[in-house]
Amino acid sequence: MSGARTNTLAVLRGSIERIEAQGEAYSPRKVAFGHADADATLQGGLALGAMHEVFAEGGRQSATATGFVAGLAGRVSARRPLVWIRQDFAEIESGALSMSGLAELGLDPRLLVTVRAADVETALRTAADALACDALGAVVLEVWGETRQLDLVASRKLTLAAQASGVTGLLLRMAAEPQPSTAETRWIVRAAHSPPSAPSVAWGTPLFDAQLVRNRHGPVGRWIMEWKCDECLFAKPAADPQPVVATPAHRPHQAPALAKRRRAG
């Protein structure tokens, strides 16, 4: 009887350890966006060592989605090398990556390695090999259009490679519709209106309309995110980016007079 009890306890301990190990597998390390609402929804931020999908609506928002993915890559790579794999057709459609543009977004072009793949199969194999290298910080796989090769089986292979190495994978899809996958999150990104800037500033602050349409372990949401180039993080845009001039204290009579003229007009 004593031996039977010992064997039963051993089996129970093994079962508990397996359950705990599975629970830990669903609690990956995370990096915060910097946007409080998005971080709260994702319970701390974007999961590391997982695959995340970003879709550009209709292909018209390719530049916006590329900038959003660049920001994500900067957050998750932690100053480690980044490999960006592009299908040849993607470069024909949307142009080459701009190193000066990435530098303006706050990324270090010296840590970026770009790979041009002749077709989807080559891009998938290259991405799987890159995700297996734990010296990298992130791997971006950019694929244009609908493709049967990027199915649930291929998605599972990429996810397992990311989980094994701890390298984060970012799948950038242009002119494609979301399909079943093992991705941790899925985003649809559109451009948002930048607030007016000072006359001395040529460009407004990068703003993204980021819609989280898939979250494997929680709710979804939609936010306007501002990319802070100097801090390299996403944040809530300022409610009133421009200062509002107050009514002069020494001329309080002008305010009601102006209101009367407006009502009369």
- 5-46 pLDDT, tens digit per residue, is 666 656 556 554 554 454 444 567 999 999 999 999 999 999
pLDDT of residue 157: 96
Query: 51 by DSSP, 3-state: which?
Result: strand
Residue 189 to residue 226: CA distance in whole angstroms:
13
pTM confidence score: 0.78
**Mean pLDDT for the stretch of residues 222-247:** 77
Mean pLDDT over the full length of the chain:
83
- Alpha carbon distance 54, 67 (integer Å): 11
Q: How much is the pLDDT for 197?
A: 61
Q: What is the DSSP string of 2-35?
A: HHHHHHHHHHHHHHHHHHHHHHHHTS--EE--S-
Q: What is the pLDDT of residue 100?
A: 92
Quote the Cα angle for 38-46-167, to 5°.
165
Does residue 203 register a pLDDT over 90? no
Fold of 29-235: Rossmann fold (3.40.50)
Distance of alpha carbon 145 from alpha carbon 134, whole angstroms? 29
CA-to-CA distance for 263 and 265, rounded, in angstroms? 5
Q: What is the pLDDT of residues 76-135, one digit of tens each?
A: 998 899 999 998 888 888 788 999 999 989 889 999 999 999 999 999 999 999 999 999
Segments making up each domain of the chain, as ranges? 29-235
